[in-house]
Amino acid sequence: MPATSSALPALFASSRLHYAWVMLALTFLYSVFITSALGVPAVLILPMSRELGWSIGELAAPQGLRLAIFGLCAPLAGGLMLRYGPRVMTAISGALLLAGMLMSITMTSKWELWLGMGILLGLAPGITAMQLTAVVPTRWFVTHRGLAVGVLGSAVATGTLIFMPLAAWISEAWSWRVALLVPTIGATLTWLLFLWLARNRPQEVGLQPLGAEAPVAVPAAPTANFLHLSLRALAAGAKSRMFWLLAFTFGICGVSSFGLTQAHLVPFCNDIGVPLGVSAWLLAVIAVCDMIGTIGSGWLADRYDNRWLLAVYYGLRGVALVWLVYADVSTIALLTFAVIYGLDFIATLPPTVRLTVQSFGPDMGPAVFAWVFASHHVAAGLMAVGTGISRDAIGTYAPAFLLAGVLCIVAAVSFLATRRPRLAAAA
């Protein structure tokens, strides 16, 4: 490896600043750009339709495939990350992302649409995004682990939500192809930076995880194939009530976040007479508040009972969604909703990851979380489709938003009745 790549970790090893913070920054930047690939195409359907002459349905179908692939990759990504480590998987992920974005920017035929925007842009973030959120904090942090998960969790959601209004503005000023070029350049630069400076474990640079009071042994590298590792994680999780509770409630998180507002907030606002530009900026407000809320949730997860935090988060989200349906249509009301909802958008992630690692240990925990996350996006995909069908059938989004709100309240109550999990080894 290049001398500068080896020298930087060595420099941090002799300083008071732990290299875990560098890993956190590298992973945050990469996650912001790679997950933007999930959301940006959704706001470009209309200009793409006008230029290419394809219908909305023809353009939307590959984007539904992309969301489904992203979620369904998670269980396999858990085994792949255990088997090959973050650097190898990030190398593959970045290459797939670059190929998918370049194909999407230059596409002129429908097979390029399906392969680029549908398959490649689903696989690229699917095999790393949420796994990096679990693996990097688990391997590099003992203290501040919840905070680290919160920072990376904010990157996953905020990357998507920030680039959606930005892409809408760029597409109006120039073209949808230029709008796709911006996250492509950012993803390429942060991908190369990660490959240059990142390491799989702190022990590779002569360090222990941040806050470790005693040397942490590096487990033997798994030799089984990644599918076996993923299924072994599922088998370990399926024996635990906590796994089923987390899978169920994180599915509700997907229903009430990505499956609802990411896909339908803009048309919901259009139904009530809110202009497109205002709707796009509401997403930006949600994004900024999400970053604050998710990082804050990580800080709280290090200090308080994660079950009670999840009960509060789901309860507040449920109330916000129900309130939105009955609130007066005004800019102030929508802005109030965006702030409250944004602070809670994916604040559930840090305590969910911590409860998974506490229950299944620091090595198997991230692989088990991959299955928990799969429930999140499978449920989100079903909600996105179901909400669209409901809106077309009855002419209103109210039942879908009310259903999501009620489910959140059910999730909150379920955590109030849950016992604290036993701590797994080295959790």
**Tens-digit pLDDT profile for residues 351-360:** 998 888 888 8
90: which residues sit within 8 A by CB, 6+ positions away? 30, 128, 132, 191, 194, 195, 198
Please report, for residues 111, 128, 258, 386, the alpha-carbon distance to residue 254 in angstroms, rounded to integers and kept in the order given. 29, 18, 6, 13
* Residue 211 maps to a domain: no
Specify the pLDDT at position 423: 53
Specify the pLDDT at position 193: 92
- Strands (DSSP E) contained in 210-341 are none
Residue-wise pLDDT tens digits, 99-136: 999 999 999 898 998 998 889 988 888 888 667 877 88
Specify the pLDDT at position 427: 42
Specify the pLDDT at position 369: 84
User: Residue 65: which CATH number?
Assistant: 1.20.1250.20
Does residue 159 surpass a pLDDT of 60? Answer: yes
Q: Output helix, strand, coil percentages for the chain, rounded to the nearest 5.
A: 80, 0, 20
Confidence of residue 425 (pLDDT cuts 50, 70, 90): very low
Residue-wise pLDDT tens digits, 161-215: 677 778 878 888 898 899 888 888 988 999 999 999 888 888 888 888 888 777 7
* Residue 187 maps to a domain: yes
Mapped onto helix, strand or coil, the DSSP state of residue 394 is helix
User: According to the per-residue pLDDT averaged within each range, which of 2-11, 25-34, 415-424 is highest?
Assistant: 25-34
Higher pLDDT pick, 300 / 15: 300
- Strands (DSSP E) contained in 168-297 are none
* Residue 30 maps to a domain: yes
Mapped onto helix, strand or coil, the DSSP state of residue 200 is coil
Specify the pLDDT at position 247: 93
Q: CA 141 to CA 169: how far, in whole Å? A: 39
Share of the chain above pLDDT 70, in %: 89
- 162-166, 273-277, 419-423: the lowest-pLDDT one: 419-423
* Residue 280 maps to a domain: yes
49: which residues sit within 8 A by CB, 6+ positions away? 55, 56, 59
Give exposure, 293-306, as e/b (b: 16+ Cβ within 10 Å).
Answer: bbbbbbebbbeeeb
Confidence of residue 53 (pLDDT cuts 50, 70, 90): confident
**How many domains is the chain partitioned into structurally?**
1
* Residue 396 maps to a domain: yes
Mapped onto helix, strand or coil, the DSSP state of residue 6 is helix
* Residue 177 maps to a domain: yes
Dihedral (Cα; 226, 232, 235, 241), 10-degree rounding? -90
Across all residues in the chain, what is the average pLDDT? 82
Q: CA 59 to CA 112: how far, in whole Å? A: 11
Please report, for residues 67, 205, 252, 376, the alpha-carbon distance to residue 385 in angstroms, rounded to integers and kept in the order given. 11, 47, 15, 15
- 73-82, 216-225, 260-269, 314-323: the lowest-pLDDT one: 216-225
Specify the pLDDT at position 1: 47
Residue 380 CA to chain centroid, in angstroms?
12
Query: Residue 354 is part of which domain span?
Result: 12-201+231-416
* Residue 31 maps to a domain: yes
The DSSP bridge partners found for residue 210 are 141
Within 10 Å of residue 267's Cβ, how many Cβ atoms? 14
Specify the pLDDT at position 115: 92
User: According to the per-residue pLDDT averaged within each range, which of 47-61, 275-289, 296-310, 400-414 is highest?
Assistant: 400-414
Instruction: For residue 289, give the DSSP letter.
Output: H
* Residue 130 maps to a domain: yes
Specify the pLDDT at position 14: 56
